[in-house]
Each structure stands twice: as C-alpha cells, then as structure tokens.
Amino acid sequence: MGNLFCLVQVDQSTVAIKESFGKFADVLEPGCHCVPWIFGSQLAGHLTLRVQQLDVKCETKTKDNVFVNVVASIQYRALADKASDAFYKLSNTRSQIQAYVFDVIRAFVPKLNLDDAFEQKNQIAKAVEEELEKLQE
C-alpha cells in the first residue's frame, strides 16, 4: 500500500537512503516520507544507527615466543550525519573493522612478554580505539 501512494516508513534508530534515478538524493530520518517512484525516486536501502558489537579473535605471538589468543569486543555504530558515507563507501563494515583490529593487535602484542600482555590490556584496548578513531576522521 505504501508503494501505491509513494509513502514509506522509516523505523526508529534507522535511516533510509533515497536515490533519484540511481544517484544519491537524501538521507531519510525516522518517520513517514513521500518517495515518488513515478519520478525516479527509490529507496536504496536502510542503515541501522544502533550500537553493534563485533568480537574479533586474533592469534599472535608475544615477545617471549608464546602464542596467545586475544579477543577484542568492538562496539560501533553508524553516525546519522555520515550515513551516506557509511552506506556507499563501506562494502563490508565488519570485515574492514576486523582487519584494522588485527593490524593493531599484531603490531602491539609482539612487543610484550606474556605477563606484560595481561597487565597492559588497557593499553592494547587504547591502541585499538585510537587507530579506529583515526579512520573515522
């Protein structure tokens, strides 16, 4: 019925990406919107703004040649003001975040002895956070 009258509903905590003849046109906030398909407008998709969690398990070797499994829980969300970038520029968000986390952990942990790695878990977390924040800018 919404398609017949050109009306679409965008749920709470999500945004919709509107295109006009295949080109990005607008980011639709939650609520009811008119998307006149007869004039070439359509929804390209929806993007959730909820916080999501990604558990990254990485095996690496410490300075004293001990293999350890490091599990990092990354919480992330799309920003409403950068929704078009999140929708069009990232092809596989989870894999891309996982790759950056792997790089940071594999660069940081091999510099530490096993005991130091357990003691400096906050520094490892801070290094991962700083690297991911650099990408946001």
Print the domain residue range for 35: 7-48
Residue 2, pLDDT > 60, answer: no
pLDDT beyond 70 at 94: yes
- Same domain (yes/no): 35, 98: no
What is the arithmetic mean of pLDDT over 99-125?
89
Q: What is the pLDDT of residues 35-82, one digit of tens each?
A: 998 889 999 999 999 999 999 999 999 999 999 998 989 999 999 999
pTM across the whole model? 0.77
List the structure tokens of 130. 């700083």
Q: What is the pLDDT of residue 134?
A: 81
Same domain, 28 and 63: no
* Angle between helices 121-136 and 93-108 in degrees, nearest 10: 140
Q: How many structural domains are present in the chain?
A: 2
137, pLDDT greater than 70: no
Residue type for position 66 = V
d(CA 61, CA 54): 22
